[in-house]
Each structure stands twice: as C-alpha cells, then as structure tokens.
Chains A and B, each alone.
Chain A
Amino acid sequence: MKYFLTSALVRGLVGQIVTTWLSYSLIRSFRMTVEGWTVPEVGLDEPAVVLACIIGLFGFLLSCGVVTDWLKMMAGHKPHLKHGAQGRPGWTRYVNIDVNHKVIGIQYGLNSIFILLIGGLLAILFRLELAMPGLQFLQSGDQYNTLFSAHGIIMIAAIFAGVGAMTNYLGPVLIGASDMAFPRLNAFSYWVGVPSAVILLAGIFLGGWDTGWVGYPTHSTTTKMIGVQMFLLGFYLNGFSSIASGLNMVVTAVYMRAKGMSYFRMPIFVWAAVAASILQATTTQTVGVALTMVVAQRTLGMNFFTPILDPELLAAGVPAGDPILFQHIFWFYSHPAVYVWILPGLGIISELLPVFTRKPLFGYKWIALSSVGIALVGMLVWAHHMLTSSMPPTWKIPFMLSTLLVAVPTGVKFFSWLATIWEGKMRFPTPMLFVLGSISVFLLGGLSGPILGTIGTDMHLHDTYFVVGHFHATVFGGFVFPFFAAIYYWFPKMTGKMYDELLGKIHFWIMVPGFWVMSLLQMRVGVLGMRRRIADYGPDLGIQVEQALITVATLAIGWSVLIMIYNLVSSVRKTELAPENPWESRSPEFLAPSPLPEFNYLAPIEVVGEPYDYGLEGATYAVVPTPAGD
C-alpha cells in the first residue's frame, strides 16, 4: 500500500488534480477581476477550464516524474537509464515510471482493458436505453448524447492503448532488440495518455457533451455542454502519445533489428506495426489542428468554421469560416486512425495463423506490402465520410474511387489467409479461435465497406446504423478480437503461466456469435431507416425486435469480456508454470525463457532463415542464446 500511494501513478494523478484545481481557481479569480471579462457566477468558466486542464497535464507529468530525466539533461547532466524494479516489489513497476518496453506494453494493456470496461459500460447503459422505443431511464437527450459521445472517444482511447500494448510489448521482442529506440520517450508516450484519459472521463461529469466523437462544428463550437472542451483536449493530448509512439516504433524497426533480419525477414506483425506507426506519427498532427481550431473558436472567438460573419467584415470582403474545413482536416486523420488500429490487428492474424495451421504464411511479401498499401491508400480516402456534405461532385467522385481501391490490398490479405489455412494441419486453442473469429468478423466489416463507398448507396446509408454495424465489425474484427487472440497467445510469455483453456473457449463462444448478432442487426436496422446517434426511435420503423436482440447481444459481449478478465487474473495467480513454447512457435521469443528476461534475450540473437518455414525440414528462423548450463 505504501508503495502504491507513493507510485508515479498516484503522484501524477494527485499532481494533476491539484494543479488543475489551483490553476482553475486562480485563472477564474483573475478573470473576475479584469474588467470586461464576463465570468459566470455559477457553473464552470469555460476558458479557465481549458487552461487549467492544460496546466494540469504538466502537473501530472512533472509530479509523476516521467520528464525528470529530460529536465536533468537540459540542466547538463547525463542521467543513465534505470532498469528493473530498483529494490521495490516487482508489481510496483507497473504503477511507476519504467523504461522497459515490456513493462510499458503491459501498462498500456492494463490501461486499455480498464478503459475498455468503462467504454463498454457506457455502451451497455445506452443499449439498455435503446432496447425499447421511448425513453426508458435516461432523463434527456443530453444524457444519451453524452453517453454515446463518451463511449466513442473512450473506446478510441482504449484501442490506442491496446495498439500501444501490442507494438510496445511485441515490437522489440519480435525483432530481437532489447528495447525500443527511445525508452524514455516510450514511457512518456504511455504516461501522457493517462492524464488525457482522466480529462476525457472528467468531461462526462463536468457537463458532458453531445457532439459525438467527431465533434463537428458548428455544433461543437456552439453547444452549451462544456464537457466538449474536455473531450477536445483529452483527444488532443492523447495525440502526443500517438505521435511519439509512432516515431519510436519506426526508428526501432529500422535500426534495432537483429543481425540477419532483413526487412523481408521481419515477423509480419512488425510490418503492420510500422505501417500503422507511420500513419500514427503523421496524420495525428492534422486532427490536432482540427481540435485546436475548435477549442480556439470556442474560447477565443476565432472563426474557422462558422459561415456567419459580422456584416461590416462581410461588406469589406473578409471571408467567413466553413464547417466543411473541419471535416476535411478531421477525417484526414480519423480515417487512417482506423487503420492504425486494424493494421496491427491484421498483423496478429497473419502472425498467428502459420503457428496454428503448421504451414508457412502464404505470400509473406504480398501481405507485408499490402499493409503498406492499405496505409498509403488510407491517406487518400478521407472525404468518403463527407459524401452527403456540400462538397462538390468533382471532389466526391475521386474519393469514391480511391475508397473502392482499399478493397484490393484488403482482399490480398483475406486470400492469403485462406491459402495459408488451406491444406494446413489446424489446431484450435483459444488464440486460434479468436484469430478465426477475427477473420469472420473483419469479413463482415470488409463486405459492408464498398456499399458505403459508392455515393448513391451511401446517400441512403450515411449516418445510419448500417455505418455503426460496419465500423464495429471492422474494429472488432481488425482490432478487438486480434488483441484478445494476442493476449491469450502471449499470456504464457508475459506471465510464465497458462490461462484456462475452457474459460477461454467459453469467452470465444459467447463473444463472437454475440458480436455477429449485434453487428448484422445493426446493419439491418440501418438499412430500414434507423439513424445514428439517436436517443429514441419510433415503432414506425418496425425494428423493436432487432433492437431488443442487439441489446441482449451487447450484454452477452460484456459478460464474456468479464470472463476473460477473470480468467487472466486467476491464471496469473497459478503456481504451475507454463511450458516455454506452448504453441511450438518458431518465433525467437518462444525460444527464450518465460517470462522474458529484462532485456528479452541474454545476448543478441541471429536470424538465419525465413520466419514462417513450418513444414520445412531442418529450417531455423533465429538462433537464440540459452542460459549457460542449460
């Protein structure tokens, strides 16, 4: 307990809360004393909230200590990297600043699951509300709007944390490195995500917001629900985490690969992670601009997005803002953002399939390059989210065509997976079940994509539940299920213990069919006329049965995740040790001890063959040094 209370996490949170509160009161009283500045007597003072939240972030970072080394460097010292638990119990590493990439990966993972549960809880709340027509227990549209808006952005934060977990834990391990290229920056990426999640969550209670996760102006610039500022800031600050971890992963993959590991001998997950990281490190900047602009318009009255202008300015010929601008800049990031989530997930599918089919990955190079292809095409399709906007047809048509083109590299992945499975000798432990589940669910997402890409059909489907079904299938199939597969698969490597197979299978058989029901019915009600983001719907659409079933499916999904958490927690406490290589994998980490040593491998490993040569007599991928006397 003493260790917990003095941990970086607690220090950071206390620091954040104290500095936020102090600076809020200071700024507020300052503004009250300045003549002409109107500050509300009751309720929150919006500009003060914004500034206080930003200062609070610094409060967190300084008091948790993640920037201490950098400050020392600025002062001219040369602090060296501190490895290990430094005399404290091992578990304290996960609540303290630690530069080890595996610790950071697990920190991300725990964070991800925690935030996932909050986001899931919000979803379950509004699914209960939507189970029947009429308002059930919510008091107003505002409450509903806050719930779904928060669900969206919180899940996004959870997914980014999950991506961070996978790339951080697996990236260096798979390429045979001891750590990331910039361990301190890596810790920073994780820790800056914590206060931003706090700001997001606080937004729910400090007013809430009703803009959805997209925050389109002019609604987001005019809504009275000032939780929107916390949403914008939390979203924005999370971007620092994304950019830093993206850069880190790219540099790591370029410079820290083991001897003999050419680019086309990297494990396929690393290709996917690098493609995702490039997107993450670049496009995140633009959403930062979009969010900053909304904050600036709300707090400083800068007109980026409102087509309404002071008559005098208008008469002089000064241009007004334009809400479409936001949509362009926002989607330039937010479409690729989805690829940042799913590329690592698809990488996990490609990584695990050969192990459980006992067959080489079919078309390794094609799969590797298709990740890059998806990333590049993904940067050129953003305006397909605006096919019903006032954008001229001359813009809409090119974006329709580029969007359809995404199907090509995605198809390459599917067909390569099928060819990998074909004539394999398949085994079906829980990770493999989740891999197959991922493929099936991602297929639903993929198949429902082109119909949203052609303008005519999108005019009907845009902003309906069809879209909701489509992207939940994409994100579950492309991220959530592969993430779970990865957790089960590497669990013995992370903890040295084996999870419970029966509970794992129960989790699978509840969650995946539950998801099919949910997603397909969401698409169905969308086709019938159910709009997105509505607190209530009428019986005139005739979709009551579907809605009730969706709610039941959601509850099933929620319970199944709790089963997984119970499984993992109870398995960690087992005394029985897992075998070193339970899956008979060829990957280097499974040739090393479990849990992996502090620096992954006792000495540099050497790659001497192809990664997925299952079924080839005498083929080796990597030579991994074993402990002396073993």
Chain B
Amino acid sequence: MSKNAKHFSIVGILIPIVTAIVYYTISTFFFELPEAASAEASIIDDLFNGHYILIAFLFAIVVVPLVYSISVFRQEEGDETDAPHIHENTTLEIAWTVLPIFLVIGFGIWGVTNYNAVIASEPDEITIYVQGYKWDWTFYYPDHDYKSDQALVLQEDVPVLLEMQSSDVIHAFWVPGFRVKQDVYPYDTENQALNFASGPDYDPEPYHFKPQVMRFTPVKEGVYRVRCAEICGTSHYSMLANVFVLSPSNYQAWLAGDYLLPPDPNLVNSQPGEGYYLDALNDFTIENGFTPPPPPELAPVEDEG
C-alpha cells in the first residue's frame, strides 16, 4: 500500500507541473492566436484560454500516469507471473463519469453565454453588403451608395453589420484577426437587384431573401485579410480581399475620396501562384505613377541604423 501511495504522490505532484508547462507552451507559443483585432476576438479568446487550460489539464491527467506507468510498471526480465487481479472499482468509475459531466455543463454554459456575447447586436452599427463570388469579394456601402471592389474599409471602434450573400456557391467570410466566420450562401445570380457585384443596387425584399449576417467591431487600425474558408473551386485558395481598419479621420477622408488606399499590386486573382503573395502587405511600391499615403497601422518606415 505504501508503494502505491508513493506512485500516487509522484503522479499527483507531476500533474499540476505538467499542466502548467503545457498551458504555458500552448497559450504563449504553440497555439498562440493571431492578434485580437475585434471586440469579438477578445470575447472568443477568453473561451480559447479556458479551453487551453482544460486541454493542459486533461493532457496532464492522461499523459502523466501513462508515461509513469510505462516507465515503472514494466515486466521484469524473467518474471512470468501476471499482474494483480484488479478489474473494477465502481466508485472510481462513477467518479470519472460524473465529474466530466460537470465540466461539460460548465463549458456548455460558458459556450452559450460566450456565443450570445459574440453575436449580440450593438447600437449604431454600420451596415455593409458583402458579395462573394468565384473568386473574389465585393463590398457595398448602402449609406453612401458606394461600391468597393478591392477592399473592405472599416472604421476603428465602430461596429459593423455585414449582410452577405454569394453569387454562385457557398463561400465563407473569415478574417483571422477578427475570429468570426460566417458561411455565405448563394442567391439569384441573374437578378441585378440582388447582385451588386455588377451593379450598385441591392434590394433583398422582393424574394424574402435573408442574407447571412455577421457582426463585429474592429478595434485595431491595420490591414487584414478576408480569407474564403469554404471550398469553392479552382481558385478558392486565392479568394482573398484586404480589410483596412482606419482611424476615424482617415475613414472620413477615405469616404470623401481624399484618402487613397494603399493599392496592393499583389492582390490579383487572375494569376494564381505567380508572385501573388509576395510580401503583399509590406510592399506598397506602385508602378502606376503615384505615391500612396502610408498604409495604416504599419509603423512609419524607420531608417535602419
């Protein structure tokens, strides 16, 4: 019995240590999330953090006894006898069935409240229409009757409501920095009223069509990327669009046409694979003969040395 007590105490000491090490490793390095750039990202990252603790703990309570057993409970050379005949312990069985149920309930409740917080609508949302199509995105600002083919431009700290639809197959709108993801479903490709990829109008009413909605509040100036997350054919991998989160003054200037977005010469979908990804976000040198204003977020280029 004292021998068993020794085994249990060693394992008991190792479990919290391993939990701490694993948690530290995955949360600060191995599964480190992209920088949170939306209000929703912070909410979701809390849940991520909870899961990381859970993962570290469950990892430890399985791996520590497993590795310990492998190193200690080995059959010795020449020993032909079997191990002790221990085949059940009802208390233990009930414990490890019931305790996880409490964990599950806990994470279930957390998951629900977290999700409700993520999808909660905010006052003063700006509505933007998003159209996904093979293999690009178009954005339409109904308040300003403005269509942006190249990029989604948002104002820092202002909540947005995206009303999204597709012209062909299912796509999915995802910006890793914002965390949130939403599948985008097709609607009438022929109907101009619903298809602002080729015209500025957008009127979902006639067909009771409910576009997919997604809400988030960008909180950090910078350049991000929409990445289509649902397989949609040939150039699914390059179905990207830039997202610019601008400061209020720059956003107003952009609406007024005074602020030119840093064009991204590499964001060309027609030539998959060819120089397409080359350091897109750091290289704004343009062949078109004009010098764009410095891109947002990116720190002013310091002279080296």
Contacts and interface: CB of A to CB of B under 8 A. Distances in A.
B186 interface: yes
A91 to B, nearest CB: 38
Contacts of A462: 172, 181, 229
A405 B97 CA distance: 11
Given A210-B231, A388-B182, A427 B85 contact: no
Interface in A357-376: 357-366
Interface string B50-93: 01001100110011011001100111100101111111110011
B65 A418 contact: yes
Nearest to A143: B234
Interface stretch (A10-18, A447-455, A561-569): A447-455
A326 to B, nearest CB: 10
B176 A425 contact: no
B86 to A, nearest CB: 7
A451 B49 CA distance: 10
A625 interface: no
A408 B104 contact: yes
Closest 5 interchain pairs by CB?
A: A538-B277, A135-B273, A534-B237, A360-B87, A454-B111
Contacts of B185: 307, 323-324, 390
A425 B74 contact: yes
A540 to B, nearest CB: 6
Contacts of A307: 185-187, 209
Contact of B87 (A362, A401, A450): A362
A463 B230 contact: yes
B66 A439 contact: yes
Interface string A305-343: 011100000100000000110000000000000000000
A142 B227 contact: no
Interface in A65-108: none
A539 B281 CA distance: 10
B259 interface: no
A540 B111 contact: no
B128 to A, nearest CB: 18
B180 A459 contact: yes
Contacts of B228: 531
Given A140-B272, A314-B207, A424-B69, A404 B118 contact: no
B257 to A, nearest CB: 28
Interface stretch (B27-35, B141-149, B152-160, B287-295): B27-35
B273 A536 contact: yes
A606 interface: no
A211 interface: yes
A441 to B, nearest CB: 12
A580 interface: no
A387 to B, nearest CB: 9
Contacts of B187: 307-308
A389 interface: yes
A525 to B, nearest CB: 11
A487 interface: no
B163 interface: no
Interface in B92-147: 92-93, 96-97, 100-101, 103-104, 107-108, 110-112, 114-115, 118-119
Nearest to A359: B83
A527 interface: yes
Contacts of B66: 418, 421, 436, 439-440
A218 B186 contact: yes
22 contacts: A141-B236, A145-B234, A210-B233, A306-B186, A365-B88, A401-B108, A411-B97, A423-B73, A424-B69, A446-B58, A456-B118, A459-B44, A463-B174, A463-B229, A523-B31, A528-B176, A531-B227, A532-B231, A533-B236, A535-B273, A539-B277, A540-B277
Given A218-B169, A307-B187, 10 more contacts: A141-B238, A390-B182, A397-B112, A412-B97, A418-B62, A454-B115, A459-B182, A524-B30, A524-B31, A529-B34
Contacts of A140: 234, 272
Contact of A414 (B7, B32, B62): B62
Interface in B219-249: 225, 227-238
B82 A425 contact: yes
A540 B280 contact: yes
A182 interface: no
A314 to B, nearest CB: 7
